[in-house]
Structure 1
Amino acid sequence: MLTITAYGLAIALNLLCLLIGARFLLAPRPAAAGYGVPAKEYSVYLTIKGLRDGTYGLVGLALLAFAGAHAEAWFMLVVALLPLGDTLIVLRNGGAKAVAFGVHFATAMLILLTAALLFAL
């Protein structure tokens, strides 16, 4: 059961990264609003964020498929820094605390939980 849960969460989080990346590439302004800091105008940085998130999702899936649970766990441990940083970005730029903590910080905690489960395998 632990294996199914750990792999299931890892796959879901990586696919979520792919979806977030695609949203920033295809609909950057609504994606930025959902991020917690709306974009006043289109910026190349929204495209960069989309590529970053999508790439993290692909790398995570590749690690899980070809390197195993422990490599994915280390990857997730490091990647958890991104939503923690996103939490600070939203807070420092006048975004809603509910989004900062309810989306970004909660995501970081879920990533860390997933890393812990993967390490336990």
Structure 2
Amino acid sequence: MTVTAYTLAIVLDLFVLFIGARFLLQPRAAAVGYGVPAAHSGDGAYLTVKGLRDGTFGIMGLALLLFAGARAEAWFMLVVALAPLGDTLIVLRNDGTKAVAFGIHFATAVIVLISAGLLFAI
């Protein structure tokens, strides 16, 4: 179970880091994938904030796992699960599809919570 817990945590941290980089490098395409396309004017700063937030979460998760251990990473994952839960609501409130809201964001929150549970268990 230890290998599974660490592997899932690392994969999730790297995935969030990738999403952050995508929002910084390809913001409009990333917004479409997020489920709420960005307007062509005025949304650039918000897309950058999202990229920075996700990139920071990814780096922080990797740093916690490396320097503080599984228990600290478990608490981090537990708290970070709030972000995709919030993203679910954002997509729904902004006329995004339920498939994206639940199939991507809510599912991500569930996987992050599973990761937290596995990390707490070791």
Alignment TM class, shorter chain as reference: over 0.9
Which residue in 2 is equivalent to 1:49? Answer: 50
2:7 and 2:20 mapped to 1: Cα distance?
Answer: 20
1:16 and 1:118 mapped to 2: Cα distance?
Answer: 18
Computed over aligned residues only, the root mean square deviation of the Cα atoms, in angstroms, reads 0.5
> Counterpart of 1:17 in structure 2: which amino acid?
V
> Counterpart of 1:103 in structure 2: which amino acid?
I
> What is the TM-score of this pair, normalised by structure 1?
0.98
Which one is further off, 37-46 or 107-116? 37-46
Which residue in 2 is equivalent to 1:109? Answer: 110
1:87 aligns with 2:88: yes
Which residue in 2 is equivalent to 1:19? Answer: 18
2:17 and 2:119 mapped to 1: Cα distance?
Answer: 20
Which residue in 2 is equivalent to 1:32? Answer: 31
User: Once the 2 structures are TM-superposed, how far is the Cα of residue 90 of structure 1 from its aligned partner?
Assistant: 0.1
> What is the TM-score of this pair, normalised by structure 2?
0.97
2:103 and 2:6 mapped to 1: Cα distance?
Answer: 23
How many residues matched?
A: 120
Q: Deviations over 1:58-114 (max 9, x none)?
A: 000000000000000000000000000000000000001000000000000000000
2:56 and 2:119 mapped to 1: Cα distance?
Answer: 21
The 3-state SS of whatever aligns with 2:87 is: helix
* % same residue: 73
User: Once the 2 structures are TM-superposed, how far is the Cα of residue 35 of structure 1 from its aligned partner?
Assistant: 0.1
**Runs (5+) with no aligned partner, structure 2:** none
2:91 and 2:76 mapped to 1: Cα distance?
Answer: 24
Q: Deviations over 1:23-47 (max 9, x none)?
A: 0000000000000000012421000
**Runs (5+) with no aligned partner, structure 1:** none
1:8 and 1:85 mapped to 2: Cα distance?
Answer: 25
